[in-house]
Amino acid sequence: MPEGKKAAVPAPKPVREEDLYSAKTHLHQPVPVQETATVSATAQLADAPEGALPSEVRPEIVTWEKLCEAIKASGRSYNMEMIEKAYDLANTAHKGVCRRSGEPYICHPLAVARLVLDLGMDSESIAAALLHDVVEDTPTTLDDLKAAFGEEVALLVDGVTKLTKIQFSNIEELQAENLRKMLLAMSRDVRVMIIKLCDRLHNMRTGDAWPEQKRRDKARETMEVYAPIANRLGILNVKEELEDRSLHYLDPVGYEEISRMLSEARELGVVEITVHTPGQQRQDLTEQLCARWSLRDVVLCPAQGGDGQTNQTLALAAIALRERLRARRVGIGWGHLIGQLVTWLEENPQPSSTVTDIFPLVGNASIPARNYQSNENVRLMAQQLGAAPHFLYLPALPESLEEKQLLCSTEVYRQIQDQWVQMDTALVNIGNYPSSPDFASLVRYGSLLQQQHTCGRLLVYYFNEAGTVIQSDQDFAIQIPLELLKQCPHIVGFCSANTSEKALRGALRSGIFTHIAARAELVKSLLGQ
């Protein structure tokens, strides 16, 4: 976001035809974002004394060299050609311009890019972070970015630019209309909101250079809009620092009093403040989980308010994983979180999604709840993602094994089988085994579920804490065969707010899942922490 520039902006260098290339020359799988990602201490603070609050410490100035070092140190693969080209364009466009604080303006997009990197985002996001102000503040156009970097980077920059232009006039709008607008603006690509949050975070870190009234206005806006969005996305470290810095500007006397009381308490030994690398604990949890159960990625979400809000966050985590996996042919299960995911997409359509085809992994239930209406969920998701829907016009639980065999011999079933074979991503809810089994499960399994100490379910399969999926010769459920499901490259299991530790443990031990989204507290309990 612009900050009162002191010099006119020169025109950027023309882009040569030979320099043009696609922004999709390299893709990688970043580490978890919405729920687990936090900002690195090296990017956040410079020379931080022990126990210092964020607003008490001067932020580090990020240079191109430091950004490159951080990229290398991340251990992840990035498209450095694209990132360097973005830096060159931004550096030229902002040349001769300084921020109010006195440093060259390019330091701001470099700092935003570093924050984006620390959140585990991809090459396109880092490039867009470097370029996020060039369309708004320089003669560079969106078409220039499309020509140089491709459609994806240009859309990210455009999204951030549009968010920046949203004006907040009063508290009512802050809490309602403009918050909705911002959420809708981010919905095309959640990376837009991530970049904007990093932009706002760095501006709040350097807000001392603003006039007093601007500091207060920005702090109020940050507290009422940006911090809640960071909380909804599960980026708690960013949310907390945004709130801390906002309070510092809104109530400096109260902030100083709190700071003084904490200092005195530390000296008296009443409290102990330990400085950790932000996000280290969650990173450790995800690394432990991945290493122990051979997972490729884990998204940890905070428990927020009631189960409903927590489930919303978990649904967003599933969406984030889908986006990072560049899912194209997606199979979906059923359950409460699938319903939450569909509801969120209805309010936040994503027509530019990578998804091309969506299909159910299980037939339709006879109960009216939409969470279990597979075809309806497929239809709605496909509509909001701009994908082609494929339906399974068969019940999940027919009357008998004989009826299942008859139904599975139809063309309808053969067509959905073709989709299952081509599937690259499966979204499956990990749930608990009910304390009182339903009639259908008793008919399908008899006493097997009780005998084998069933604790959880996925689709209409049941498993125990040892990870054994219970098999029955009388199972008449119509769903993707387990062996076919296991062939899918990416199987995302996500736990709802009430999923038990036993159910998650059994799901992990089954070896079925490649990716997990769950509450952080659930994982801590699972790992004995």
Is there a contact between 381 and 370 (Cβ–Cβ < 8 Å)? no
- Alpha carbons 5 and 247: distance in angstroms, whole number: 26
> Which 3 state secondary structure label does DSSP give 330?
strand
| Cβ-count burial 10-20 (b if 16+ within 10 Å, e if not) | eebeebeeeee
Q: Is 136 a catalytic residue?
A: yes
Q: Name the CATH topology of 26-268.
A: Hypothetical protein af1432 (1.10.3210)
Q: Is 137 a catalytic residue?
A: yes
Contacts for 229 with CB less than 8 Å, ≥ 6 apart: 179, 182, 183, 186, 193, 197
- Distances in whole angstroms, Cα of residue 473 to Cα of each of 387, 445, 450: 37, 8, 16
- Distances in whole angstroms, Cα of residue 444 to Cα of each of 275, 374, 411, 420: 55, 21, 25, 24
What are the boundaries of each domain within the chain?
26-268, 304-486+498-512
Q: What are phi and psi of 361, to 5 degrees?
A: -100, -5
Contacts for 188 with CB less than 8 Å, ≥ 6 apart: 155, 159, 350, 351, 352
Estimate to the nearest angstrom the gap between the alpha carbon of 454 and the chain centroid.
32
Q: Residues 137, 158, 189, 357: which is the catalytic one?
A: 137
- Using N-to-C axis directions, what is the helix angle for 190-205 and 177-186, rounded to 10°? 120
Q: Strand pairing of 454-458 and 515-519?
A: unpaired
Amino acid at 444: R
Closest CA to 440 of 395, 485, 410: 395
- The backbone region for 75, taken as left when phi is positive above 0, alpha when psi lies in -120 to 50, beta otherwise, is left
Residues 469, 471, 474, 478: is their CA dihedral positive or negative? positive
Q: Residues 19, 103, 136, 521: which is the catalytic one?
A: 136
Q: What are phi and psi of 130, to 5 degrees?
A: -65, -30
Q: Which helix (H) or strand (E) holds 461?
A: strand 461-464
Q: Which residue has the tokens 């100083």?
A: 256
Beta bridge mates, 298:
516
Contacts for 330 with CB less than 8 Å, ≥ 6 apart: 322, 355, 357, 358, 359, 387, 423, 424, 425, 426, 427
Is there a contact between 302 and 523 (Cβ–Cβ < 8 Å)? no
Q: Strand pairing of 388-389 and 357-360?
A: parallel
- Alpha carbons 196 and 157: distance in angstroms, whole number: 10
Global confidence as pTM: 0.52
Beta bridge mates, 519:
301
Is there a contact between 88 and 67 (Cβ–Cβ < 8 Å)? no
Listed in order, strand segments (DSSP E) in 339-460 are: 357-360, 388-389, 425-432, 454-458
- Alpha carbons 12 and 25: distance in angstroms, whole number: 24
| Cβ-count burial 396-407 (b if 16+ within 10 Å, e if not) | bbbeebeebeeb
What pLDDT is recorded for position 157?
94
- Alpha carbons 360 and 381: distance in angstroms, whole number: 11
Q: Which helix (H) or strand (E) holds 462?
A: strand 461-464
Collect the ranges in the chain with pLDDT lower than 70. 1-58, 167-188, 231-234, 236, 253-283, 304-305, 366, 368, 435-438, 529
CATH of 304-486+498-512, one of 3.40.50.1360, 3.40.50.970, 3.40.50.11900, 3.20.20.140: 3.40.50.1360
